Structures are given as C-alpha cells and as structure tokens.
Amino acid sequence: MLVLKPVKTPCVGICSTGIGDSVCRGCKRFAHEVIDWNSYSHEQKLLIAQRLENFLARIVQNMIQINDEKLLLTQIKHQQIQFKQEQNPYCWVFDLLRAGASQIQDLSAYGLALQPAWQGASLGVIRENIDKDYYALSCAHYERYISPCFVTTETLDLHK
C-alpha cells in the first residue's frame, strides 16, 4: 500500500484574503484555495504546492544563482533554517533570505552569487523584490486563468 506524504499548508501566517484580496499576500494562494484547503485531495494540494514552488523558484533564479547546491544545503542545515528539502533549491534560497538576509555578509559562503542585474543590491532589497514579484506572478496567473472575468462566451466557444 502506497502511503502519500501529506502536503503541508503553504500558509505563512500573514493572510490577506480576509481583507478581500483574491491572492494571499503571505502564501500566494488564491482566496478559494486558502478557504477550501482542508477539503482538497492530496492531488489538489500537490498541484497548488507545485505551482507555488515553480513560481518562487523562477523568480529567485532571476536574482540569485546557485553555484554549489551541496554547500547551500550544508549551510542551511548548519544555520538551522526552516526549509523543505524536497523543494527546488531556489526555494531554499528564499527561506534563507527570509530567515536572515541582513546577517549574510558573503553569499559565496552559501554557494550563491547575485545575478549581474542585481549586483550591488542589498539582500534585504532582493528579498523584498522576490516577494513582490512572487505576488505579482501569482496575481497575474489568477487574473489570466482563474478570475471569473476570464470565463467569457468567447473563451467558452474556444473549447467547443
């Protein structure tokens, strides 16, 4: 019998769906996903988690390059940073920045380097930009594929 590892809620304890946001500013899930999370099947939760992971990894990779994944993993464990090892390593980078961007003096000690466009930016600014871009990408996805205004007679005709 195959036992599936439960998908943990992506909640980070900063929910903005209660104040009317269609996309949570904390975890970047859509409001209906936050509300219905506990009723979702394992597969539904996994799809949401994968979407969020892919979005975050893509954004982090635009700003930071991983040169040594093994060193990054060693340092994250040594620093006792909370992270999900099964996730894309670029998600680990964001967890690292959330935990202590202001205390990191040398990214190379973590096997990381800034992408050329971000040279000279502080890690705090980079962390804020990652979060801002992650939210913007989630909102764009919601508006393009989920928002009720997306379903029109024209889009329904395309599927006939």
Domain boundaries, the chain: 50-149
Q: How far apart are CA 84 and CA 67, in angstroms?
A: 19
- pTM listed for this prediction: 0.88
Per-residue model confidence (pLDDT) at position 153 = 52
pLDDT less than 70: residues of the chain: 1-3, 148-160
Backbone angles phi, psi at 74, to 5 degrees: -60, -45
